[in-house]
Amino acid sequence: MNNTTNAEKALKITTALTLIVSGYELLRSCRNYREGMNLLDIASYATADLNTYCLVLILANMILLPQALMLYKQSGISLKNEIYDRQNLGRDIFMGIVLAVVSAVISLLSVFVSKGRTELAFQGWGQLSVGEIFLMILSLGFVSGICKEIFFRGLAKNFCGSVWGETASLLIINVLFGMLDWFNMGHSFLVGFLWIWGYKKSGHLIVPMIAHGGMNLISVVFYIITS
């Protein structure tokens, strides 16, 4: 397969994931619309049905992952080597953890953004059950942390990069990454730049994987403690 064909396939995979997940989020938000809501109110309902949201996230990633893996295999690119290198594993893990903490701190800014919500906004999940906590850890910590980075960082660099240029591809696909989580008002788009930097600096996907999954796990723990 030529570079253009590979780039098109990579773009289709990331676009499909974006449309599936963001489409569900938008549907949930619109179904709960009431007169007087502002944009932050509407966005707050995107993940209101927590169990269904987590399941949609898991299924969408799992359905599209085989296509991404096949693209790597057909192109002769070792995904294992793309994810980590034993010689630099310790350094990369440390970098990923640091970026996870920095990303989690940035996510605290959403507290100030949420102050623009009215009484019509979704008021939160309340006390989470063990099953809900498990689904959040699985979907946000592991599935999102691993699969989304293969899609939005790995495919962008290895396949779109040969057509548009590596940096340009990572930045363009990061727009899709931000669109997928549109309800957090640009937070995903912003931290995506950090994870791109970590990926380019290390050359391995394990850095943004740890940063992404780690940030989400910190958020889950923070919610459990404060709820």
Percent of the chain with pLDDT over 90: 88
Q: What is the largest CA-CA distance in the chain?
A: 58
Confidence at residue 1, expressed as pLDDT on a 0 to 100 scale: 59
- Write the pLDDT tens digit of every residue in 186-220: 999 999 999 999 999 999 999 999 999 999 999 99
CA distance 69 to 71: 5
How many other C-beta atoms lie within 10 A of the C-beta of residue 150? 24
- Write the pLDDT tens digit of every residue in 84-97: 999 999 999 999 99
Average pLDDT score, the chain: 94
The SS3 assignment for 186 reads: coil
Instruction: Tell me the pTM.
Output: 0.95
Rg over alpha carbons for the chain, rounded to the nearest Å, is 18
Nearest to 44 by CA among 56, 36, 35, 32: 32
CA 111 to chain centre: 19
- Write the pLDDT tens digit of every residue in 105-143: 998 877 777 788 999 999 888 889 999 999 999 999 999
